[in-house]
Copies of this chain bind each other. A is one copy, B any other.
Amino acid sequence: MTSGTPELSRSSCKVAALAGGVGGARLAGGLAQVLQPENLTVIVNTGDDFEHLGLKICPDLDTVCYTLAGLANPVTGWGRSGDTWQALETLSRLGGPSWFRLGDHDLGLHLERTRRLRAGETLSQVTRHFCQSFGIQAQVLPMSDDLVATWVHSDAGTLAFQDYFVRRKCQPRVSGFFFEGAENAQPAPGVLEAVAGADLVVLCPSNPWVSLDPILAVPGVRAAVQRRPCVGVSPIIGGKTIKGPAAKMFTELGLESSALSVASHYQDLLMGFVIDQTDQALSGAIAALGMAVCATDTIMNTPQKRAWLAKEVIEFSLALVGKPSSTQTAEEENRSAAKHR
């Protein structure tokens, strides 16, 4: 374990990143560019996983893997770049359910994953195999090989996650979340080891409620994260999200939709928090929660900007390691934010 030792640098820094879908995958993609691949483990939410058309679909795992493999659709963030929609077109013509968009290449992966799971492989094993096939060098782990299902309590009733998220386009007002099976789930092999062995845990800019909380709900994960230096990146920028319903969820839950609310949500875990430069005015309030703040450009609309943000997150964190977060001065925060305007 080298954390906190003076010689820790970006090239030797071991990172465990917790990620959900598109935003998380993009930062994971950046981290994969700036770290030694063997030093990065991405632990991915599987609470969104569901069975559809008899296929086991793992949206967040796939988004992370496609992104790390350079295969992700750059426009949507999910699905495969240049995918086609022939199967879905026929399915739809025959009256089948087409609300969940499955491209043809994507379908091939779901078919093969489902086949392997039915043949007795675990989700971890399948994921490892897929990463090898895709040439992904970082370690990608599902949070658990056990079934954990995110349910959304809402004014339209308690909804299965994909029903809420895709079919109903996040329209119902949420009032809470429930991770069915979480209390009895085991972390997937390697998850606790990766966190315990990490110089730094990164909470990617994913939805706190339905992407990162399910991971942290797997027994042992939150406690393991609490024992390691941990920084987060806000998925909320100027009160809004780039993608997804996180901002809407905060509001519906009676909370302010802001980077401050995200920092507060993870207060027990974070020694530092990265927010967008837009939200620099929140730095003081976030620092008052007992964590260092870095306000910078967090928009990851190109692979270059993902790598840049990843480097920024790592350097901000390395500077904090071994130093009580509350000791970071406002000057330091401003310097960090100003550097990249």
> Which of A's residues lie within 8 Å of B, judged by CB?
53-55, 83-84, 86-97, 103-109, 111-112, 114-115, 118, 129-130, 133
Contact indicator B114/A87 (Cβ below 8 Å): no
Q: Closest residue of chain B to A108, judged by CB?
A: B90
By beta carbon, the residue of chain B nearest A130 is: B94
B86 touches A104 (CB 8 A): yes
Cβ-defined contact, A87 with B115, below 8 A = no
- Contact A108 B133, beta carbon cutoff 8 Å: no
Pair B107/A94 contact, Cβ less than 8 Å:
no
Complex: how many Å from CA A93 to CA B83? 15
Q: A108 to chain B: which residues have CB within 8 Å?
A: 86-94, 96
Task: State whether B112 touches A86 (Cβ < 8 A).
Answer: no
Q: Are A90 and B115 in contact (CB-based, < 8 A)?
A: no
Taking the nearest CB of chain B, how far is it from the CB of A289, in angstroms?
A: 44
A329 CB, nearest partner CB in chain B, Å: 51
Task: Name A112's contact: one of B55, B90, B133 (CB within 8 Å).
Answer: B90
Given contacts A86-B107, A91-B112, 4 further A-B contacts (CB under 8 A): A87-B87, A87-B105, A87-B111, A107-B107
The answer for the CA separation of A44 and B133 in the assembled complex, in Å, is: 40
A94:B133 contact, CB within 8 angstroms: yes
Complex interface: chain B residues within 8 A of A92 (CB): 108
Give how many copies assemble into the complex.
2
Chain B residue, CB-CB nearest to A94: B112
Chain B residues, Cβ within 8 Å of A104: 84, 86-87, 104, 107
Q: Are B84 and A118 in contact (CB under 8 A)?
A: no
User: B83 contacts A105, CB within 8 Å?
Assistant: no
A105 and B95 CA atoms in complex are apart in Å by 14
B84 touches A114 (CB 8 A): no
Chain B residues positioned under 8 Å from A103 (CB to CB): 86
A59 to chain B, nearest CB (A): 16
Considering the chains assembled together, what is the distance between the CA atoms of A6 and B129 in angstroms? Answer: 70
Counting chain B CB atoms within 10 Å of each CB, which of A88, A92, A94, A107 scores highest?
A: A94
- Bound together, the chains give a CA A114 to CA B89 distance in angstroms of 16
CA distance in complex: A59, B115 (Å): 20
B96 touches A112 (CB 8 A): yes
Residue pairs across A and B with Cβ atoms less than 8 A apart, 7 shown, are A53-B114, A83-B86, A87-B87, A87-B111, A89-B105, A90-B107, A90-B109
Complex CA gap A115/B92 in Å reads 13
Residue from the set A90, A96, A103, A133 with the largest chain B CB neighbour count within 10 Å = A90
Give Cα distance in the complex from A54 to B84, angstroms: 22
Q: Enumerate chain B residues within 8 angstroms of A53, measured Cβ to Cβ.
A: 111-112, 114-115
